[in-house]
Structure 1
């Protein structure tokens, strides 16, 4: 007799949280708590950052609330004393450099001009980010992607292009 399988899939707000974790969890100064249900249709998670400047930069580039359908996801970013931090008011390139400094998936920030046009690049190392995600298109149920793609999807950016190192 064949055994029946109980198939359940995680809702997309869990995928969002896992992507945030994938971008920042390898940074030894960043600690991301689990996603919790705050009330009907509202979820939240906390990010504890050991460095105040990094916490302020992360608060500036990571949306504090995201809506997925009728679900709201709130991010609370706290500094070294577990206090709420101010939103950093610096140039966007400096914010990204501070937020990702010390993170092993981050390579560098570069700027380049093409004639009268200037571009800023947040460059991530050439590696696949992989985490379990109930993904039926992957044999093992994993999400597989690049840090640059995840950053482009999750982070606030007006003048930053996210890309993967060619080296």
Structure 2
């Protein structure tokens, strides 16, 4: 009987910084000119550097990616090819946030559009980032998968790496593109 893991030892759980690096690489790393580095230890923190060639996309990604994770154990830094950090922008309106998202993700093949809308009337409008209806897959010690892959809808994986809150009344949400009607 063959070992599906190609001779690998028993699966173990990937540490959270490895999972995050793989999520970033499988989502934002699909855009041309965006490279997601391997995590490296800096004191008690794991740092993941995202190198972005286009300055507008770099500033956009620095603004919309979650920069720090609980307990300060994982940081995401968005850098120019020269190693300089891109500054995150302060956004003051849904329209500004929408523009930043478009700059950050416009070249990403999983990105479809941004929409400012409210789905629940008591809650005001928010910026929705709409993604392709595609599966994002990467190896991640998922014991529920025969080949130990993580398999997730692109929108869900982006939701895990993007900031959601930008201040009072400024919320970024994710969605999958509209399904074709007439099936089923």
Shorter-chain TM-score category?
0.7 to 0.9
Match of 2:102 in 1: 97
Question: Which 5+ residue runs of structure 1 have no aligned equivalent?
Answer: none
Aligned residue number for residue 142 of structure 2: 135
1:33 is matched with 37
Matched, 1:12 2:16: yes
SS at match of 1:131: strand
TM-score (norm 2): 0.78
Q: Determine helix, strand or coil for the equivalent of 1:25.
A: helix
| 1:44-77 CA distance string (max 9 Å, x none) | 121110111111111111122213xx67112221
Q: 1:71 to 1:85 in 2, by over 3 A?
A: closer
Matched, 1:59 2:62: yes
- Alignment partners' CA distance in 1, 2:51 and 2:68: 17
Please state which structure has a larger fraction of its residues in strand. Answer: 1
Q: Is the 8 A contact 1:31 1:49 kept in 2?
A: yes
Q: CA RMSD in A?
A: 2.3
Alignment partners' CA distance in 2, 1:38 and 1:61: 23
Q: Name stretches of at least 5 consecutive residues in structure 2 with no aligned partner.
A: 166-170, 180-184
Q: Does 1:84 align with 2:85?
A: yes
Task: State the alpha-carbon separation in 2 of the partners of residues 82 and 13 from structure 1.
Answer: 21
User: How many residues align structurally?
Assistant: 162
What is the aligned counterpart of 1:160 among 172, 178, 182?
A: 172
Shift in Å, 1:37: 2.3
1:120 and 2:127 equivalent?
yes
Closer/same/farther in 2, CA of residues 80 and 42 from structure 1, 3 Å limit: closer
